[in-house]
Amino acid sequence: MLTTSTITTSTRITPDFVCNNSVCNCLDSSSFYSTSQNKCLKCRNGWTPFRNICYQVFTTLRSWSNSVGHCNSLNSSLLLAEDDEKFNYFKLISKNLTSISSNQRTWVNAQYTSLNVFQWINGNTINPSFIMSLADKSNVPCCFAYYTIPSSLLGIYSCTQSSNGICEYTE
C-alpha cells in the first residue's frame, strides 16, 4: 500500500527590528525605526541611525539660528534630546565633536526665553538633571548647548555664539 503524506512548511518572517517598552531598534546598524511607517528605513547618505532618527554632526561653527537654518536646509532639525537614553547618547557624541573641533559647545533645539522656564523648542520641559547647576539663568533670551567641560550637561549661552551642532530627521 502506498501512502502519501503532505509536508507542510511554514515561512516565518522575522522582523528586522526589536521593540522593548515601546522603543523599537533596527537589527541592521545602518537603519532607523520609522514610528510613522512601523518599519526600518535606511538613513540618507552621510547620516547615522540612532533609535527612530538619523543624525548628522557638523563642526562648522555657527550661531544657534544659523545652526537651525543649516539643519532646515538638510530637511532636518536641530537635535531634541528629550529622554535619558537619547540625551546620554548625544552627550557622548558632543564630547567626540569637541575632540574634532576643539569647540566645547554643541547646540541643541532649546531656547531659554523666560526666567526659570526650561523648554525644548517643541514646548516640552527639559529634564532639570540635564542642565548644569552653574548655568547662568539670569540672562534671557539664550540657547542651550551641551558643554563638554566639566560634565557635558546643557549650559545656557548667548544664541549668537558659534558652536558645533547635530541635525536629526525621521520619516
- Write out the DSSP string of 33-86: EETTTTEEEEPPTT-EEETTEEEEEEEEEE-HHHHHHHHHHTT-EE----SHHH
Q: What is the pLDDT of residues 9-31, one digit of tens each?
A: 443 345 788 888 878 888 888 88
pLDDT of residue 69: 98
Query: What does each C-alpha distance from 151 to 61, 64, 70, 106, 148 come to in angstroms?
Result: 21, 21, 27, 13, 6
pLDDT at position 79 is 98
pLDDT of 18 reads 87
Per cent of the chain over pLDDT 70 is 88
| pTM passes above 0.75 | yes
> pLDDT tens digits, residue range 85-130?
999 999 999 988 877 777 889 999 998 887 778 899 999 999 999 9
Question: What number is the average pLDDT over the span 40-50?
Answer: 93
pLDDT at res. 108: 97
Question: In whole numbers, what is the pLDDT of the chain averaged over residues?
Answer: 85
pLDDT at 6: 42
Q: Can you list the domains of the chain with their CATH numbers? A: 53-169 (3.10.100.10)
